[in-house]
Structure 1
Amino acid sequence: MRGPAAGAVLPITSDMEMAAVRQAVRESAIRIGMSLVEQTKLITAASELARNTLVHGGGGRVEIVEVERHGRRGVRLTFADEGPGIADVARALSDGYSSAGGLGMGLGGTRRLVDDFTIDTEPGRGTTVTAVLWSVRPAGPG
């Protein structure tokens, strides 16, 4: 049985849905031919962002899109919530910062795992985080 199609929007409102997000990200990474290391980086980033969406944003959604640019394939993940937003993005991205008493490696570490990383947030308006990982393998036919 196949999982969600590429370009799917998946809810993130429970731990079970976070597991479904990881599986869908894995399937997209495999479909575009990412190496095992690339798959692991992307799934790790997705797992952290999904957890942040659930814990800090009160739940939300992710859009998973397979993309191509300059002959390379990648996977773009867009996580969105309508939570409280991030008051200080620079601080949230710094190593050692944690608003939940964790290790504080979340957003900063996630940013280092992917090639493109953007945060759109405003206190009281929610947060959208977009992360893209490009495969080192050139895009093939199909």
Structure 2
Amino acid sequence: MKAEPGEVEESSVQEVPIGASGDVVKARQAVRVLAQQARLSLVDQTKLVTAASELARNTLTYGGGGSMRGSLVRRNVKEGVRVQFSDQGPGIPDLDLALTDGWSSGRGMGLGLSGAKRLVDEFDLDSEVGKGTVITVIKWAR
């Protein structure tokens, strides 16, 4: 199916359940493969994999587990990788605070969400207390 101009088309979907620390490694490996397929530069591959690793770890640690869904994406002539992490954990009560550099829930260094956001081109965070969190990131090839 052809997307309308400006819409995102996706292919090569990879899904990884995240329920144990070994799954964080699997998610990181799946994202690296997608980044290579999208022909991201080595620097951009490293940025995306680092962000994905942090978000996968957060999915496990704070969300109690969940899933990662990665895919190759195209918007008009741009190509890249979209990765979505979702959980049904407690949610994030204060999104602005959670995205503040240096803020920590007490269990981390406070670099996770804000650091991941800086490493990618697009970052979308949707969270509802008591229902869970969905974070979607995109890194575009240059």
TM-score (norm 1): 0.90
Q: Please identify runs of 4+ aligned residues in structure 1 that moved more than 3 A.
A: none
Q: How many residues align?
A: 132
Structure 2: stretches of 5+ with no match in the other structure: 1-10
Equivalent position of 1:139 in the other structure: none
Provide the aligned C-alpha RMSD in A. 1.1
Letter of the 2:110 partner, please give it.
G
| 1:109 and 2:115 are equivalent in the alignment | yes
TM-score (norm 2): 0.90
Letter of the 1:58 partner, please give it.
G
1-side partners of 2:51 and 2:29: how far apart?
13
2-side partners of 1:75 and 1:117: how far apart?
12
Structure 1: stretches of 5+ with no match in the other structure: 137-142
Letter of the 2:81 partner, please give it.
V
| 1:10 and 2:16 are equivalent in the alignment | yes
2-side partners of 1:121 and 1:109: how far apart?
18
Identify which of 112, 128, 133 aligns with 1:127: 133
Equivalent position of 1:87 in the other structure: 93
- Percentage identity across aligned positions? 49
2-side partners of 1:95 and 1:28: how far apart?
28
Q: Deviations over 1:55-101 (max 9, x none)?
A: 00000001001001131211001100000000000000001111133
Equivalent position of 1:32 in the other structure: 38
